[in-house]
Amino acid sequence: MSGTRVRLGVNIDHVATIRNARGGRHPDPVRAARIAAAAGADGITVHLREDRRHISDADVNLLRRAIPLPLNLEMAATEEMVGAALIARPARVCLVPERRAELTTEGGLDLTAAKESVLRTQAALAAASIPMTLFIDPDLEMVARAPDLGAQAVELHTGRLANAAPSGQGDALAELREAAAAAAALDLEVHAGHGLDYNTAGLVAAVEHVRELNIGHFLIGEAVFTGLEAVVRGMRRVLDDVAGTSA
């Protein structure tokens, strides 16, 4: 046990994915965020993608005003996204790499290749007093570059651990431990996320210096199983009530 309470950021992108499948308003990400808040989330995370495949600009602005928790906006380091961030004014921004065709964020930022765009983005965010996190692989060279780019925190990509067979988890965890210790030594707050479930979230939360996990896909997927029974029973009651009153 690390002894430190690790914050839980709940990523609600895939509530919007389901909503967008029909183009209507249900299920509403704001309602999901309120449920997450009531259940113990410490923050709400959304990724505003260039193609707006799930969360929209309107969602970000609504969430920012309607929820009682800090909003963590994940976005690419582009002029368009800076514009969206300056309108929404989230509690903080997490810069992520983005490739149009990817199913999800496949790796961390390359802070060498992206240096100029990160610096430009950081300057605009800092002028609006919005702190910046950098989403990076647990790679010591990337960790070392983060302070010079104005980051307050790094979020370590946990995909390798999430995808590892049990025999490979030890190496993936060792890499996370080393990166977390290096980041903390540079006064960077350490966050982690990607692909975490009950098992791997527990492993990462126990890594020294980790202060926050951001988790989305597993939580929204698992909610189907913990929530479906109640919804089907609810619909059964609706139909039974009609039968009762029309009999």
- Using CB under 6 A, list all residues that contact ligand PXP: 11, 13, 47, 74, 94, 96, 104-105, 135, 155, 193-196, 214-218
Whether 194 sits among the annotated catalytic residues: the reply is yes
Cβ proximity to ligand PXP: between 67 and 95 the closer is 95
Cα 110 from Cα 198, distance rounded (Å):
29
Q: How far is the CB of 11 from ligand PXP (least distance, A)?
A: 5
Q: How far is the CB of 240 from ligand PXP (least distance, A)?
A: 37
Catalytic residue among 54, 157, 191, 194: 194
Whether 157 sits among the annotated catalytic residues: the reply is no
Catalytic residue among 74, 98, 155, 212: 74
Cβ proximity to ligand PXP: between 74 and 175 the closer is 74
Cβ proximity to ligand PXP: between 118 and 246 the closer is 118
Whether 47 sits among the annotated catalytic residues: the reply is yes
Give the helix/strand (H/E) hosting 80.
helix 79-88
Cα 74 from Cα 81, distance rounded (Å):
9
The tokens describing 103, both together, are 């199913």
Identity at 97, one-letter amino acid code: P
Cβ proximity to ligand PXP: between 103 and 243 the closer is 103
Q: How far is the CB of 108 from ligand PXP (least distance, A)?
A: 8
DSSP state of 219: H
The tokens describing 135, both together, are 């989403």
Q: How far is the CB of 53 from ligand PXP (least distance, A)?
A: 11
DSSP state of 100: T
Cα 34 from Cα 228, distance rounded (Å):
19
The tokens describing 33, both together, are 């965020």
Q: Is 29 helix (H, G, I), strand (E, B) or coil?
A: helix
Catalytic residues: 47, 74, 194
